[in-house]
Structure 1
């Protein structure tokens, strides 16, 4: 049997972040503990077929990944890896690992404490399983003390230190296409596109007109709102204005604005995008804020927008409010979701099929 070439822990961490960017996926998929676990699984060759894993393959416990120290990891020869694996995966495993390392002249300095195993067992490994990176041992229950976790072979291939540059990017994208769900692929795609965004963002409006927006995450969010959210959510959407950095306001449909009797003043703090659903009666005016760093529709902002709408003779009942984020995992979304105004919606670029509504519950209890 031939063991795989060992990546460094730094390489493992970088590969995990490339496959599961933290802007889109839970950090337990790619944090230092996850990198140590992936390295340990490669070290003992806990790598199985993606589709037909066998109970007789090599499997690990979470503690196996915690015990592997740097001093052991540098012993990359076949005999050392086989001996350590035999000790770590059998009965009385910890005692045998201590004895083996003592025979090598090494102290037992495990990388993480045993109480860290719950993070791997309950978070990292289940997420890897869900995303296609790991497999569980057939016929072994979750409560069994037997080793039951391994990397999927096609995912382990991505940790090959010889795979670099464009070839690595191609391999990661091919793996995502083959193994991830459409929703997970969308999350990864959005995070990857955001990271690489250095040029103008091209957006196609509902009327077919194309418009270039400033580079950046906010423009990517607006592109998603206009091209994806609006067709899903609105009956007959039209984009009235798009605001950009530098007090620039793009008037997308001047004739419609004129028919509606609306006047746009660049000195007014307009929302990032102003849309109207002309397919409803009365027409609904949607005020959109794209939050790449800050600026959700909180209560003060909602009142400002309603006041502005009043100057345009738009009744409050016809106003709708949407705060759009990159991802639920993105920092601004985590910080600012709690501040959303009542009666407003939230939408995420990497989960375009869903939206959130923060609304008051109608009290159905009988009066005393």
Structure 2
């Protein structure tokens, strides 16, 4: 038998099933509690295939599982022994657990077998998430069920956040039917449209940014700061964590003779003020970290030079949520000279950090405060 995958809880299984098969589009039996129990139990015994050494399971494998087994019988030796006992019968499972000092308290009663098999596992198999043992009839009592190996990959506890979302998206693309993919896509698009941050550009067009505080700061920059600060503002690019090239105005960039390296340099936003001599504004939205410090400013000026943009036509803005926000308190001290800071909760103000310039217009020093005698 191949090495067993990490044990997962029913809660983790339920959460992942909902992400793969959102209830707005799929039969709720695909993400039901008993379906989650089935996934957790099959991973526990190693029923993942297909393969020459696949461990096959019955519905009773999930029915007879319990929390104490997942929590206290986690070694490979325990897992193999429990799986073998489950193949031999309920009494063998109870006897094994007794020898481990665990009271047998199974998750589901025996009459739940048909519900698990017909309402959950058959649906998962129809969606390419489960496989059945070749040559075993559907009426046979022999063990014949396993999770598809590519589907079981989605339940790795180490997969989280963006990596998990990417893995699910890849699985949907590679293994779901065309109609199922369409359903999943419709739900994702609806959720994005509902939760996304809507940003109105200076030309009146609207863009959707992924939900999050950084997107709200960028929204403030475009809708609040730019109209106040810039004469004729144009949004050339906006990036975000989930899509590093969420919006890039390729036509305008080409017209300006500018290119951006998405993988290396793309700032959170690039704006252009078409008024006066024309100024490129590089924006970084800081909700956790990433202000325009000396090193970042130098990198961006090198980029500008490569685009034949004079340094005096490049300006820099670090945008924060608030002066009271922790990132501002920590990173204001790191702002590069010659850059600006702006705060979303005080949109009519900005800060500038720069050297004091002596232009020769200083007043002569006051030598006496006594009034002159007439």
**TM-score, structure 1 normalization:** 0.52
Once the two structures are TM-superposed, the CA of residue 196 in structure 1 deviates from its matched residue by 2.2
Once the two structures are TM-superposed, the CA of residue 106 in structure 1 deviates from its matched residue by 1.4
Find the aligned partners of 1:131 and 1:35 in 2 and give their Cα distance. 15
Unpaired segments ≥5 residues, structure 2 = 210-374
Find the aligned partners of 2:208 and 2:161 in 1 and give their Cα distance. 28
Of 81, 85, 88, the match for 2:86:
88
Q: Is 2:126 aligned against 1:130?
A: yes
Residue 109 of structure 1 corresponds to which residue in structure 2?
Answer: 105
Residue 195 of structure 1 corresponds to which residue in structure 2?
Answer: 191
Q: Deviations over 1:62-111 (max 9, x none)?
A: 11101000011111111110110110013xx1111011011111111000
Structure 1 pair 199–105 and aligned structure 2 pair: CA distance change class (3 A): closer
Q: Secondary structure at the match of 2:131?
A: strand
Q: Secondary structure at the match of 2:19?
A: helix
Q: Secondary structure at the match of 1:150?
A: strand
Structure 1 pair 4–213 and aligned structure 2 pair: CA distance change class (3 A): closer
Q: Secondary structure at the match of 2:141?
A: coil
Q: Secondary structure at the match of 1:144?
A: coil
Deviates more, 1:97-106 or 1:1-10: 1-10
Once the two structures are TM-superposed, the CA of residue 181 in structure 1 deviates from its matched residue by 0.6
Residue 63 of structure 1 corresponds to which residue in structure 2?
Answer: 60
Find the aligned partners of 1:3 and 1:199 in 2 and give their Cα distance. 39
Q: Deviations over 1:310-349 (max 9, x none)?
A: xxxxxxxxxxxxxxxxxxxxxxxxxxxxxxxxxxxxxxxx
Find the aligned partners of 1:26 and 1:121 in 2 and give their Cα distance. 15
Q: Is 2:182 aligned against 1:181?
A: no
Structure 1 pair 81–214 and aligned structure 2 pair: CA distance change class (3 A): closer
Q: Is the 8 A contact 1:28 1:34 kept in 2?
A: yes
Q: Deviations over 1:254-286 (max 9, x none)?
A: xxxxxxxxxxxxxxxxxxxxxxxxxxxxxxxxx
Q: Is the 8 A contact 2:9 2:70 kept in 1?
A: no
CA RMSD of aligned residues (A): 2.3
Q: Is the 8 A contact 1:200 1:212 kept in 2?
A: no
Once the two structures are TM-superposed, the CA of residue 199 in structure 1 deviates from its matched residue by 4.3
Q: Secondary structure at the match of 1:59?
A: coil
Q: Deviations over 1:179-207 (max 9, x none)?
A: 111100011111122222234899xxxxx
Find the aligned partners of 1:87 and 1:105 in 2 and give their Cα distance. 16
Residue 335 of structure 1 corresponds to which residue in structure 2?
Answer: none
Map 1:132-211; keep pairs closer than 5 Å. 132-197=128-193, 198-199=195-196
Residue 77 of structure 2 corresponds to which residue in structure 1?
Answer: 79
Structure 1 pair 214–156 and aligned structure 2 pair: CA distance change class (3 A): closer
Find the aligned partners of 2:77 and 2:208 in 1 and give their Cα distance. 57
Map 1:315-326; keep pairs closer than 5 Å. none
Q: Deviations over 1:149-204 (max 9, x none)?
A: 100000000000000111111110101111111100011111122222234899xx
Find the aligned partners of 2:186 and 2:130 in 1 and give their Cα distance. 23
Q: Greater RCO between the two (CA within 8 Å, min separation 6)?
A: 1
Aligned residues: 202
Find the aligned partners of 2:16 and 2:43 in 1 and give their Cα distance. 14
Q: Deviations over 1:197-218 (max 9, x none)?
A: 234899xxxxxxx997999xxx
Q: Deviations over 1:107-133 (max 9, x none)?
A: 110001111111111111111011110
Q: Is the 8 A contact 1:47 1:150 kept in 2?
A: yes
Q: Secondary structure at the match of 2:46?
A: coil
Residue 32 of structure 1 corresponds to which residue in structure 2?
Answer: 33
Residue 275 of structure 1 corresponds to which residue in structure 2?
Answer: none
Q: Secondary structure at the match of 1:189?
A: helix
Residue 8 of structure 2 corresponds to which residue in structure 1?
Answer: 7
Find the aligned partners of 2:19 and 2:45 in 1 and give their Cα distance. 23
Find the aligned partners of 1:79 and 1:146 in 2 and give their Cα distance. 23
Q: Secondary structure at the match of 2:69?
A: helix
Residue 248 of structure 1 corresponds to which residue in structure 2?
Answer: none
Find the aligned partners of 2:174 and 2:139 in 1 and give their Cα distance. 31
Find the aligned partners of 1:186 and 1:71 in 2 and give their Cα distance. 40
Find the aligned partners of 2:208 and 2:76 in 1 and give their Cα distance. 54
